[in-house]
């Protein structure tokens, strides 16, 4: 008894009050431990590992054949660096813009690089007939950035275009020669019809299937392109093939603001701007081609320009401009009326202070609104769709379509 009590007393710690383990329990515990050890060494489950017993031979692992589906080599989804790269540059009267993209699903593409800068190339052009040195300097500096971006890409196809300012400037050709000498870029001056077609091509996905007619307009810096689109018949993949009439007005936000003043715009000055644009539209012989659709619910306006995207940003009360919320936005007639009235009621400082306008557009936005109001007067519509896309997207769509990149499914790994 004494020896048993002494053995019990030697167990210090929290388990001290528990009865001592018997020899049988200790033996079973050791046996279980040997079983585990034997299994780790390769013995089959349930085999005993008695003391002194020979260790069973370890059988080599049998390879497990993959299921039939796993043996098929699935096509690898191509990454952006696997796909051909296309680029489009648009040097306009007000902006210099670049888009670099790779093909996506049929009819779509993914932008992998972009650049946009307000250069005001056409500043003072209406009065002097020539591009100023300061304006050309700003444009060349922006184009150098574009050239650097293009230089690091291995592009399959590139199209670099210039529009109204270079079309009408007396020194336009000299400027383009300077651009080539200093940046290595060779710009193509496109005519107004091509400009209108490319703007339409860039907005094809924003014309819904149940639409019958659209007036698409692109309010630029030095000109405004307008295309009447009739999609009542069988619809072609290229929206531009449905243009039934088009015109290019020799007026944009820069030229109109310089003619009437863009900083301090009274209601009277604004009305004079609208009337001036209406007079230009009176000479458009195809303006009545969609009149039969104007009263129906399947007709709408589609605007692609800084003017309509700015209106949309103000309408949404954005703290900062967000293309994802603006592109494709629908605005009804009353909303457009309210936004134009709101901007007309702001002074120059208030326009500068708005995040979607800023100092670069504060003296131009009301000129753009005047052009918009003239268009709405000729083609009244209950709905306006906003497009933050246009010429560059149209160029990319045509380049990729001509290259045949959408004839097979690129995203499934197929190569053309």
pLDDT digits (tens, 9 = 90+) for 272-291: 999 999 999 999 999 999 99
pLDDT for the residue 238: 83
CA proximity to 230, closest of 296, 285, 289, 302: 289
Confidence of residue 62 (pLDDT cuts 50, 70, 90): low
pLDDT for the residue 253: 96
Instruction: State yes or no: pLDDT of 78 exceeds 80.
Output: no
What share of the chain has pLDDT > 90, as a percent?
A: 70
pLDDT for the residue 9: 34
Confidence of residue 79 (pLDDT cuts 50, 70, 90): low
- Distance of alpha carbon 200 from alpha carbon 223, whole angstroms: 16
CB 322 within 8 A of CB 348: no
- Structural tokens at position 79: 């990454």
270: number of Cβ within 10 Å: 19
pLDDT digits (tens, 9 = 90+) for 192-248: 999 999 999 999 889 998 999 999 999 999 999 999 999 998 888 788 899 999 999
Confidence of residue 309 (pLDDT cuts 50, 70, 90): very high
| Residue 64 DSSP label | P
Give the chain's domains with CATH numbers.
83-190 (3.30.420.40), 203-401 (3.30.420.150)
Give the CA count within 13 Å in the CB-facing half-sphere of 404: 4
- Distance of alpha carbon 194 from alpha carbon 205, whole angstroms: 19
pLDDT digits (tens, 9 = 90+) for 2-50: 343 333 233 333 333 344 445 555 555 454 544 443 443 333 344 434 4
């Amino acid at each position: 008894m004494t020896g048993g009590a002494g053995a019990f007393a030697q167990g210090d710690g929290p388990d001290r009050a528990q009865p001592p383990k018997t020899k049988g329990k200790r033996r079973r515990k050791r046996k279980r431990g040997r079983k585990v050890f034997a299994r780790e060494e390769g013995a089959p489950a349930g085999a005993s590992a008695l003391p002194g017993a020979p260790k069973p031979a370890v059988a080599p692992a049998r390879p497990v054949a993959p299921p039939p589906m796993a043996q098929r080599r699935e096509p690898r989804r191509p990454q952006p660096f696997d796909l051909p790269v296309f680029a489009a540059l648009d040097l306009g009267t007000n902006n210099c813009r670049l888009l670099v993209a790779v093909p996506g699903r049929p009819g779509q593409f993914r932008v992998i690089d972009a650049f946009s800068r307000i250069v005001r190339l056409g500043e003072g052009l209406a009065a002097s007939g020539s591009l100023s040195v300061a304006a050309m300097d700003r444009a060349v500096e922006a184009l150098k950035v574009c050239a650097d971006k293009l230089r690091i890409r291995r592009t399959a196809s590139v199209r670099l275009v210039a529009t109204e300012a270079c079309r009408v400037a007396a020194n336009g050709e000299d400027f383009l020669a300077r651009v080539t000498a200093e940046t290595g870029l060779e710009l193509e001056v496109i005519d107004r019809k091509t400009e209108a077609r490319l703007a339409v091509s860039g907005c094809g996905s924003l014309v819904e299937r149940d639409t019958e007619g659209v007036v698409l307009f692109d309010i630029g810096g030095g000109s405004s392109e307008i295309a009447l689109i009739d999609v009542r018949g069988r619809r072609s993949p290229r929206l531009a093939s449905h243009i039934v009439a088009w015109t290019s007005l020799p007026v944009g936000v820069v030229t109109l603001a310089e003619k009437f003043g863009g900083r301090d715009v009274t209601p009277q000055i604004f009305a004079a701007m609208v009337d001036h644009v209406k007079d230009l539209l009176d000479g458009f012989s195809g303006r009545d081609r969609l009149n039969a659709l104007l009263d129906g619910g399947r007709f709408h306006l589609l605007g692609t320009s800084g003017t309509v995207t700015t209106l949309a940003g103000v309408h949404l009360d954005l703290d900062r401009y967000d293309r994802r919320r603006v592109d494709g936005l629908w605005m009804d007639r009353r909303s457009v009326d309210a936004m134009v009235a709101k901007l007309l009621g702001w002074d120059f400082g208030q326009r500068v202070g708005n995040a979607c306008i800023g100092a670069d557009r504060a003296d131009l936005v009301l000129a753009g609104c005047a052009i918009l109001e003239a268009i709405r007067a000729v083609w009244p519509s209950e709905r306006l769709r906003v497009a933050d896309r246009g010429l560059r997207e149209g160029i990319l769509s045509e380049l990729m379509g001509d290259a045949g990149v959408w004839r097979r499914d690129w995203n499934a790994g197929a190569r053309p």
